[in-house]
Amino acid sequence: MKSFPKCAIVILTWNGRKFLEQFLPSVLLTTYSNHETIVVDNNSDDDSVDFLKTHYPNIRIIQNPENWGFAKGYNEALKQVSADYYVLLNSDVDVTANWLEPMVELLEGDPSIAACQPKVLSYHNKNSFEYAGAAGGWIDKYGYPFCKGRVFEICEDDYGQYNQSEPIFWATGASLFIRSSVFHEQKGLDEYFFAHQEEIDLCWRIQLAGGKIYSCPSSVVYHVGAGTLKRNNSKKTFLNFRNNLIMLAKNWPSKKIWAIPVRVSLDAMAAWRGLLNGDAGYFLAIVKAQFAFLNWLLFHQKKSLFPNSRNGQLNGVLQKNLVWQFFIKKKKTFSKIVNKT
């Protein structure tokens, strides 16, 4: 690279002292020369801030006055950060030393690329993709997110099958590399979401505005996953289902709104499947999410961020029903579902 634009690695944490202690050292070994590491604390109840002040006095700390969640937590913090690129990094991510260089090179080489993500592997099984992002996010015709290397709960082993850098639909919020100018042009993350799927929504709005989202598998990180809310947590289920419906209603064109009732029906089927399998919490979380979506639709749309343009081309969209492909046709890998093999 002829120049070295500034990158701000911004780690949002809430009661994450153990992850900071475990993974911050790897971040500090980052070899890219022009970067700054910043920790944003979402009003933790533990001793995260004291730990940082004692052991890492040179790291900049931004303290939010309350737990604003992922979306507002980052939005407010990044108003105070000056850099060419932001890296939104989860506190439970172990990075490789040269992880930033490939992503900087990718975006510096193509101004049309607004954001990208590294290859995300499992910290506990380093030969396997990790749930949150894997090798890059896609979405199906009914709005179900999935990844190159992860479909629903099935994570593939990594043997280099997704090592090509290419357009994707969404980049994971666990390690999101994004132009700061684009982040602010889009007014950041939708704060109504609080947490979960807000990065997918942001990537969707970016694409509608003409930007591209890419995978960058030559950059590799290892993610623990579910560090704040466990994957089967009822609150997490509620946020994922509610936010997904809100995202579809905001970003789908009017001619596609017919698909909302279909998606609601598919979610209801998932709820009943959970109940029949003995998971009443899962059932109730989805029911509450659907009523919460209706509440947003009737009373709270003005609190959300809508696309400021709809002229861009969408990449990483599967024009099939992912549920049918996975559960009925028994296709369990990304390549089989998108017919790349």
88-139, pLDDT tens digit by residue?
A: 999 999 999 999 999 999 999 999 999 999 999 999 999 999 999 999 999 9
> What is the band of 341 on the pLDDT scale with cuts at 50, 70, 90?
low
Q: What is the mean pLDDT of residues 12-35?
A: 98
Measured CA distances, 199 to 85, 205, 222, 244 (Å)? 16, 10, 19, 11
Which tokens is 252 given? 């789908």
Q: How far apart are CA 12 and CA 227, in angstroms?
A: 12
What angle in degrees, to the nearest 10, is found between the helix axes of 234-251 and 198-208?
Answer: 10
Query: Does residue 206 contact residue 115 with C-beta atoms inside 8 Å?
Result: yes
Tens-digit pLDDT profile for residues 43-52: 999 999 999 9
Tens-digit pLDDT profile for residues 127-155: 999 999 999 999 999 999 999 999 999 99
> What is the band of 230 on the pLDDT scale with cuts at 50, 70, 90?
low
Which tokens is 113 given? 């690329």
Q: How far apart are CA 46 and CA 53, in angstroms?
A: 14
Question: Does position 264 have pLDDT exceeding 90, yes or no?
Answer: yes
DSSP string, 230-270: -TT-HHHHHHHHHHHHHHHHHHS-GGGTTHHHHHHHHHHHH
> What is the band of 3 on the pLDDT scale with cuts at 50, 70, 90?
confident
Nearest partner of 98 among 30, 39, 160, 50, judged by Cα: 30
Specify the DSSP element, H or E, that contains 19: helix 17-28
| Helix, strand, coil percent content, the chain, rounded in steps of 5 | 40, 20, 40
pLDDT of residue 2: 61
Nearest partner of 225 among 96, 132, 118, judged by Cα: 132
Tens-digit pLDDT profile for residues 153-174: 999 999 999 999 999 999 999 9
Question: Does position 190 have pLDDT exceeding 90, yes or no?
Answer: yes
Which tokens is 321 given? 């029903």
Q: What is the mean pLDDT of the chain?
A: 96
Helix (H, G, I), strand (E, B) or coil at 330: coil
Q: What are phi and psi of 22, to 5 degrees?
A: -80, -40
Which tokens is 119 given? 């290859």
> What is the band of 226 on the pLDDT scale with cuts at 50, 70, 90?
low
Q: How far apart are CA 164 and CA 216, in angstroms?
A: 8
User: What percent of the chain shows pLDDT beyond 70?
Assistant: 97
Nearest partner of 87 among 27, 128, 16, judged by Cα: 27
Tens-digit pLDDT profile for residues 266-312: 999 999 999 999 999 999 999 999 999 999 999 999 999 999 999 99
DSSP state for residue 48 in the 8-state scheme: H
Question: Does position 229 have pLDDT exceeding 50, yes or no?
Answer: no
User: What percent of the chain shows pLDDT beyond 90?
Assistant: 95
Q: What is the mean pLDDT of residues 73-98?
A: 98
Q: What is the mean pLDDT of residues 51-65?
A: 98
Nearest partner of 115 among 61, 189, 54, 56, judged by Cα: 189
Which tokens is 250 given? 């905001």
The count of residues in the chain is 341
Measured CA distances, 49 to 38, 39, 114 (Å)? 12, 9, 32
Hunting for tokens 């009373």 — which residue is that? Answer: 299
Question: Does position 254 have pLDDT exceeding 60, yes or no?
Answer: yes
